[in-house]
Structure 1
Amino acid sequence: MVSLNGSSALIWDAERLRIANDAAGIALWSWNVDTDEIALDERAHGLWAVPKVERAVTFEALSAKIHPEDLGRVREAFTKTRAMVGPYEIDFRILHDEDVVRWISARGESGDTGMVDRVMFGIFMDVTDRKQVEESREILAGEMSHRVKNLFALASAVTGMAARSAATTTEMAEDLTLRLTALGRAHDLVRPVPGEERKALLGDLLYVLLASYNHRGGVGERITVTVPEVRVGETTATTLALVVHELATNSVKYGVLSEAHGTLDVSCTAHDDDVIMLWTERGGPPVSVPHGPEGFGSRLISRSVCGQLGGSIGFDWPVEGVVVTLRMSKARLAR
């Protein structure tokens, strides 16, 4: 065995192993499979928020802290480790308090290899940060997929609108260019030059966002916008644009903007703390209350309005057209 600095002390003695474990954030545990007693080192006690007491910790006691959705899976996995051969790893959530959830990775060697005198040994690691990154990536991938699908749907719908209102290919090209230009203007408005702190008027934002959906490429005939002077900051302009785009895309696919004579009225009222926007559709296909699980787009709108705009969203389904009520925090809109 190699020695450290010429001394007789072995490199991997207990103290140096403890230093390495602390540096890696590794917590140690052992489990007596006959008595169900679990021994935890100091880091493991802190990781599970289990106080040190004279009586032994049991697997059942730790199970009380495992997230209910993961408990059955963890029980089954640990039971199988007695019969399986080789290393194992399982990630699961534990609850510190009602609102604090941590992700734990339990790792060890199963079977006779990982057991001494009926005691199994392994480690715990806090992998919360990694799990949160993975979750963010999954959400981002879902949003990107959803936006790409909506982009194709929008391109198809805009092309169809242009074709329906044009008598010649030249008119269609001009109409389509007008619509795409309006979309580009909306993008410029909600994505200002980096380093600039700009606020847009809510009416201007809604105008450029909805202009390309009107059959003449502007707002004022099929689509009306009536709003007070409310400022929208750079941060929330993108969120609001996403919400409006989702509502308009749904209208193009299923609502009043899918037909030549449907009308859309967007009106707002401003109060001391809130801005209330009514999205009212009339003259489109007959409307019925949707059934089944909520789609990704609906979840995206709800999360955006409630989380980032500090408000709420509600849907009414009269047969003549959907009515959407968005309540948004005036302070959040100005950010």
Structure 2
Amino acid sequence: MPLPAFDRRRLFAATGGLGAASLLAACSDDADPVQTQPDGKPFSFLDERSGEDVKLPLVPTNVVAFTGLAAALYDYGVEVAAVFGPTTLSDGQPDLQAGRLPVEELTVLGNAWGEFDVEQYAALGPELLVSHYYEGFDLWFVPEDRLEEIESLAPGIGIEVSKPTIDQIIDRHAALAEALGADLNSEENAAAVERFGNAAGSVAAAVAEKPLKVLAVGAWPDGLYIANPPTFNVLAKSTELGVDLVVPDNPDQNNYWELLSWENVDKYDADVIFLDTRTGNLTAEQLLAEQPTWAALPAVEAGQVYGWNAEPVYSHVGGAIELERIAEGLTSGQAL
């Protein structure tokens, strides 16, 4: 999901993501993943960039992945050889996109946009490279000027995350995990699927009990970004479940955000505000201290500001966590 101007504007357009400051600058679940057991069969999986299957004679065991995708695989029981993309914060704590990955144990080829240690990657002897795919970009977080060189070392697979529904995207990640040896019928994975369904049910139940007007935003120094729900899969899912989300009047040309100056942040009424918590966004504490117009919003004065993640970990556990956060905010909030 994109961020402001990469020029940040182009990057924002791809990802919808204000939290992507981690691209420009350098929910936890303690359960261990189910361990996978590749069975020696041939491997085949669709690369959604080209629409063609990537085929290998055996299931690869030396896989390198974009951090967010690796986090989803980990939830299903697949561990990768190395990751690239936002993995740790400056204090060593996991980035939001790392999900439940044991970041202290990971080989990280690059932690920020433009970072990818090709020499270290080659030394790993990779068999497969997997990443997300946004329209207008190639493999997410793989430097375009070295893509050909990188893909000459191992075939790449891109999973489309900008257009499909969150259910479809999660299913694709689960399918990749299964192709790499995960047992989707394990007790842990079955419980994760049930948890996702229950989380969706909790959102629907909260809406039925107490309809509220909801605003999803990201906050940067240049202003407040109003999220356009149809272009963010977790928000689109929430709308499907009945959440009354504000739809901005004038989203940008890529249809992700409407930017409001700090003088005009009261343009839209809302009972509850969900604030993007990805790395790079201003925090609720920073906003209260630095932006009086934000502090004066009714939802802020009422303490009805909650977090959301525009780039969830696309596993059943990851999706459940995001829907649970939304359900919690709706349950706690009151009409104003």
Report the TM-score, using the length of structure 1 for normalisation: 0.20
Q: Which structure shows the higher helix fraction?
A: 1
Q: Which structure shows the higher strand fraction?
A: 1
Q: Which is bigger in relative contact order (C-alpha 8 A, separation at least 6)?
A: 2
Report the TM-score, using the length of structure 2 for normalisation: 0.20
